[in-house]
Amino acid sequence: MDDRLDGAAGVARPLTAAPTLAHSSLAHSWNLSTSEAVALQKRLATEVVREDRLGSVRRVAGVDVGYGKRGGDARAAVVVLDLADLTVLESVTATRAVAFPYVPGLLSFREAPVAIEALGKLRIRPDLLLCDGQGIAHPRRLGIASHLGLLLDIPSIGVAKSRLIGTHEDPGPRRGDWAPLVNKGEVIGAVLRTRPGTKPIYVSIGHRIGLDTAVSCVMRCTTRFRLPETTRAADRLSKVAVVADV
Report if residue 14 touches DNA, rule: CB under 7 A: no
Per-residue three-class SS string for 199-230: CCEEEEEEECCCHHHHHHHHHHHCCCCCCCHH
Shortest Cβ 102–DNA spacing (Å): 3
- Binding track over 48-77 against DNA, x by CB under 7 A: ----------------xxxx-x-x------
Q: Which is nearer to DNA, 22 or 159 (CB)?
A: 159
Site for DNA in 135-154 (CB under 7 A): 138, 143-145
Site for DNA in 105-134 (CB under 7 A): 105-108, 111, 132-134
Report if residue 35 touches DNA, rule: CB under 7 A: no
Shortest Cβ 3–DNA spacing (Å): 28
Report if residue 245 touches DNA, rule: CB under 7 A: no
Report if residue 229 touches DNA, rule: CB under 7 A: no
Q: What are the residues binding DNA (CB under 7 A)?
A: 64-67, 69, 71, 102, 104-108, 111, 132-134, 138, 143-145, 158, 160-164, 238-239
